[in-house]
Structure 1
């Protein structure tokens, strides 16, 4: 079983959107019995809360479920439990790596580094920008690239 964790700052905008979009792609590829997907935030401000209204609206617009999702904070055990930890931006990546200074088995990757032709290095935070369309488009590209990476590295159809 391959385990993927998406991480942003508060776990209400970007990482839950990525979790839902990636889960949808994995299900459509018939791989939901091989890949487990979750999301978390580096901060604890939104623990227990549903995804942001803008995230929910964008997912609704695209027919993607977010049922049962609620914010949670990244923990030290996540670094052992997940194979891939996908950071939405440089700051998230630094915070994850700081937590991972101790023993860690996860492959920590900044999401946009997976997309070869992508000029932006980070998925901007729509909590501050309000641009959920841009974030959704970046997450779509990143999710396709991540699924391809996992299939190449882990072996798959």
Structure 2
């Protein structure tokens, strides 16, 4: 019997303290519930280096914890050149960060890049809005978007692994 294929996914936002660590945490929780952790490598990073080494924003942690997701052990890092080789999927939270990834990504790896919200099943938004300068409701909204999109992503990965 063949070992299951391992898929590696990198979630990316600007500073890696709000949206992308939330996406990493939510996706890992969903993958664990589905019994798929052994088939995944999941990480998050930022396109900017402003917050490297910092824990996720306290508001992101608080709102995620209300939904049973602990982000406290994560630390921000910047996207590295080897990420384009290492990861199968590199999913940006918005078009600005996707454009920065496209500018840095070697041509042979560009097919790995995309927006997380392309996997959303119940929401038509194409981007996960940045909640950093807004209040708590924005962090709740980000969680709603990310939960929807990561459910769709997990579904697609499960379908792909069966075929």
Structure-2-length-normalised TM-score: 0.90
1:104 and 2:104 aligned: no
Q: What is the aligned partner in structure 2 of residue 23 from structure 1?
A: 28
1:133 alignment counterpart: 140
Pair 1:143 & 2:147 matched? no
Shift of 1:129: 2.7
Extract unaligned runs of 5+ from structure 1: none
2:159 aligned to 149, 152, 157, which one? 152
User: Highest Rg: 1 or 2?
Assistant: 2
Residue 3 of structure 2 corresponds to which residue in structure 1?
A: none
Q: Which residue of 1 aligns with 2:66?
A: 61
Aligned length: 156
What is the deviation of 1:111? Answer: 1.1
TM-score (norm 1): 0.93
Tell which deviates more after alignment, 85-94 or 117-126. Answer: 117-126
CA contact (8 A) 1:80 1:106 kept: no
Per-residue Cα deviation, 1:100-147 (whole angstroms, up to 9, x for no partner) = 144327621201122254221110001023310110000000110110
Task: Please give the root-mean-square deviation of Cα atoms over the aligned residues, in Å.
Answer: 1.6
User: Runs of 4 or more off by more than 3 Å in structure 1?
Assistant: none
